[in-house]
């Protein structure tokens, strides 16, 4: 059989040559089912491990809080007998500070929130009255306290752990307290950091306001995390495990538990991709070791399929770009060596010329205003969608002709049309090539200026306004325009709202006497 006869071979015979691939289907299905079972087992084991670790660490953190409360409780009993002896209080705070590294600082305050003693003394807070969140909660509550994180007087993100000081008669004297700086070295920080692994596993801790108390990346401590399913459950007091997307849109296998004393949530997690990486390698190894003969057969089938599919793929690629002039040459170079692809190639070459002509004509008609030659609403929508996707900021100029109805009534609609055509020409002269011009109504126009600040847009608008005011629009003696300007995202993150604001500025220019430019004041306050 020579090559010419093969070139016209019926496609049905070629398909029969590929039926040997059916022998591999059952084997592939077995490998796939095995992979799915192993995959689910790995996911379940990782979820269980992370849940167990989070629970264990939550218990350790709870023990830590019990321990420091006991330390503070004992110290409160010691200082209650000599609460007015400043020197004794200073010595006791120094002892408590040096005894362990549980706290970054220790303080004794009276019932008026005045600091009586601190350690280290370099804080220079003795004699000062503190009104921070933790101090006020301790004074007002008069009971053992673990505060929510807040910024201290020194600007540190801290938690405030305190115990009331009561004399022998039950009178409330004040409190002794320790502070833990969440971004500094201390026992709690080391306790939470002791688990960090190189396999991508890590944990973080959040408070009831979804704020990070601990994170391996220290710069994230103090930030708030939204839209995380594990955090939502753990701050609601639920202990469990689940698959989720984290704030960086990475699939995670998370286990989480609650620290009862503080209401914090501890979340231990590992990227699902890292968990399954070993399984992927294992399945590939099994495949390579068990299918040497099948691999040779598969290679032959692949070669046949590639030989058959190549012209179809090239033709399909040409079909996706039939509106481009170079597509006809690309299709002409396709080697269609069997009958069906050869006939398909002929049909495509026959119709591509007419199709390109029709597409060009329709594209021009669909996106152009026939009177002014400017873009229409389709042009506007396309530009807005593109810039939104590319996050390209832009300014909007909304303008129309002042008293245009009077022009039509006085000189007729033909003259009015010529005025609009001349206005469109002036718009092109005053703006840049990359700007987008659209006619959106009778005498209403929009100009979109990409990567243009409001002040620059205002300059362009003033130049256009002055040019129109001075232009010869014979037989109309004088024509003026009013312009409103808004900015995206400066005026609003909602594009439709920005266009509306530009219209509102246009109407404001009308109300202020016409023949003027009005600019939206700026971005709204975020919700």
Asked whether the predicted pLDDT for residue 444 surpasses 70, the reply is yes
pLDDT tens, position by position, 336-351: 777 777 777 777 777 6
Q: How many CB atoms lie within 10 A of CB 283?
A: 17
Same domain, 352 and 478: no
Pair 243, 98 in one domain: yes
Determine the Cα–Cα distance for residues 489 and 223; give it in Å rounded to an integer. Answer: 24
Quote the distance between the C-alpha of residue 344 and its chain's center: 45
Q: How far apart are CA 375 and CA 369, in angstroms?
A: 6
For residue 5, being part of any structural domain is answered with: no
Asked whether residue 44 is domain-assigned, the answer is yes
Judge if 138 and 226 occupy the same domain: yes
Say whether both 155 and 276 belong to one domain: yes
Residues forming a β-bridge with 526: none
**Which element (helix H / strand E) includes 175?**
strand 172-181
| 303 and 268 within one domain | no
Task: Kindly state whether residue 244 falls inside one of the protein's structural domains.
Answer: yes
Closest CA relative to residue 419, chosen from 402, 437, 440, 396: 402
Q: Check whether 452 has a pLDDT greater than 60.
A: yes
Length of the chain: 527
Domains of the chain: total: 3
Which residue segment(s) compose the domain that 280 sits in?
37-290
What pLDDT digit, counting tens, does each position of 88-104 carry?
998 889 998 888 788 88
Do 69 and 195 fall within a single domain? yes
Concatenated DSSP letters of 216-265: SSGGGTT-B--S-HHHHHHHTT--EEEEEE-TTS-EEEEEEEEETTTTEE
In the predicted model, is pLDDT for residue 3 greater than 60? no
Residue 49 inside a domain? The answer is yes
Instruction: Please say if the pLDDT value at position 353 is more than 90.
Output: no
Please check whether residues 441 and 404 belong to one and the same domain: yes
* 517-519/481-488 β-pairing: parallel
Shared domain for 410 and 351, answered yes or no, is: no
- pLDDT, tens digit (0-9, with 9 covering 90-100), for 282-320: 777 777 776 676 667 666 766 776 677 777 677 777 777
Of 290, 308, 332, the residue that ends a domain is 290
Best CA proximity match to 192, nearest among 222, 213, 162, 178: 213
Q: Report the pLDDT value the prediction gives residue 292, as an integer from 0 to 100.
A: 74
215: which 2 tokens? 């994170």
* 28 occurs within a structural domain: no
Q: Decide if 9 is inside a domain.
A: no
Q: What is the mean pLDDT of the chain?
A: 82
Residue found under tokens 């007002």: 140
Residues 303, 283 share a domain: no
Domain boundary among the residues 344, 366, 388 is at: 366
442 and 460 fall within a common domain: yes
Average pLDDT over residues 96-118: 88
pLDDT band at 7 (very low <50, low <70, confident <90, very high): very low
Q: For residue 433, give both structure tokens.
A: 């090539």
Q: Is the pLDDT of residue 8 over 70?
A: no
The CATH number linked to 155 is 3.30.450.20
% of the chain exceeding 70 in pLDDT? 86
d(CA 156, CA 149): 10
Residues 59 and 95 reside in one and the same domain: yes
337 and 485 inside one domain: no
Half-sphere exposure of 59 (CA within 13 A, CB side): 5
Report whether 302 contacts 332 (CB < 8 A).
Answer: no
Asked whether residue 231 carries a pLDDT value surpassing 90, the answer given is no
User: 5 pLDDT exceeds 50?
Assistant: no
Specify if 4 maps to a domain.
no
∠ CA 435-439-442, nearest 5°, is 155
For 8, 13, 343, 430, the CA distances from 2, given in Å and listed in that order, are 11, 16, 20, 68
Residue 510 is part of a domain; what is its CATH number?
3.30.70.270
Q: Show which of 258, 274, 290 is a domain's final residue.
A: 290
pLDDT given for residue 394 in this prediction: 95
Residue-wise pLDDT tens digits, 180-202:
888 888 777 777 776 655 677 88
Q: Is position 506 within any domain?
A: yes
Kindly tell me if the per-residue pLDDT of 430 is higher than 90: no
């Amino acid at each position: 059989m020579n090559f010419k006869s093969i070139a016209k071979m019926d496609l049905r015979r070629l398909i029969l040559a590929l039926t040997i691939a059916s022998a591999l289907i059952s084997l592939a299905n077995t490998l796939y089912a095995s992979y799915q079972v192993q995959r689910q087992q790995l996911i379940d084991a990782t979820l269980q491990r992370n849940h167990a670790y989070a629970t264990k660490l939550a218990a350790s953190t709870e023990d830590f809080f019990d321990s420091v409360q006991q330390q503070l409780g004992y110290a409160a009993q010691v200082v209650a007998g000599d609460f007015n002896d400043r020197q004794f209080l200073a010595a006791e705070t120094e002892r408590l500070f040096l005894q362990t590294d549980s706290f970054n600082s220790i303080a004794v305050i009276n019932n008026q929130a005045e600091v009586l003693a601190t350690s280290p003394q370099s804080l220079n807070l003795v004699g000062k009255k503190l009104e921070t969140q933790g101090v006020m909660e301790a004074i007002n509550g008069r009971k053992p306290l673990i505060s929510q994180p807040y910024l201290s007087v020194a600007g540190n993100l801290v938690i405030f752990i305190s115990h009331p000081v009561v004399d022998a008669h039950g009178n409330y004297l004040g409190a002794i307290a320790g502070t833990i700086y969440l971004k500094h070295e201390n026992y709690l920080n080391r306790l939470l950091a002791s688990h960090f692994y190189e396999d991508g596993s890590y944990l973080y801790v959040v408070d009831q306001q979804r704020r990070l108390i601990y994170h391996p990346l220290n710069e994230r401590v103090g930030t708030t995390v939204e839209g995380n399913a594990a955090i939502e459950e753990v701050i609601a007091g639920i202990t469990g495990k689940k698959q989720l997307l984290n704030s960086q849109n990475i699939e995670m296998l998370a286990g989480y538990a609650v620290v009862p004393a503080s209401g914090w949530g501890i979340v231990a997690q590992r990227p699902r991709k890292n968990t399954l990486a070993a399984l992927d390698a294992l399945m590939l190894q099994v495949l390579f070791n068990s299918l040497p003969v099948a691999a040779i057969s598969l290679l032959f089938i692949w070669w046949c399929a590639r030989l058959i599919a190549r012209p179809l793929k090239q033709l399909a690629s040409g079909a996706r770009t039939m509106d481009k002039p170079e597509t006809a040459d690309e299709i002409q170079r396709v080697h269609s060596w069997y009958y069906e692809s050869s006939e398909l190639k002929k049909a495509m070459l026959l119709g591509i010329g007419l199709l390109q002509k029709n597409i060009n004509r329709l594209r021009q008609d669909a996106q152009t205003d026939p009177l002014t030659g400017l873009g229409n609403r389709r042009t506007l929508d396309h530009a807005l969608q593109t810039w939104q996707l590319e996050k390209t900021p832009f300014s909007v100029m909304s303008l129309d002709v002042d008293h245009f109805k009077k022009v039509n009534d006085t000189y007729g609609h033909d003259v009015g049309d010529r005025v609009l055509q001349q206005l469109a020409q002036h718009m092109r002269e005053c703006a840049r090539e990359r700007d987008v011009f659209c006619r959106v109504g009778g005498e209403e126009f929009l100009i979109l200026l990409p990567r243009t600040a409001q002040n620059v847009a205002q300059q362009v608008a003033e130049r256009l306004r002055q040019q129109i005011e001075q232009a010869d629009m014979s037989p109309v003696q004088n024509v003026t325009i009013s312009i409103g300007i808004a900015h995206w995202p400066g005026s609003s993150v909602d594009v439709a709202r920005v266009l509306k604001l530009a219209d509102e500025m246009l109407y404001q220019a009308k109300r202020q006497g016409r023949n003027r430019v009005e600019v939206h004041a700026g971005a709204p306050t975020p919700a």
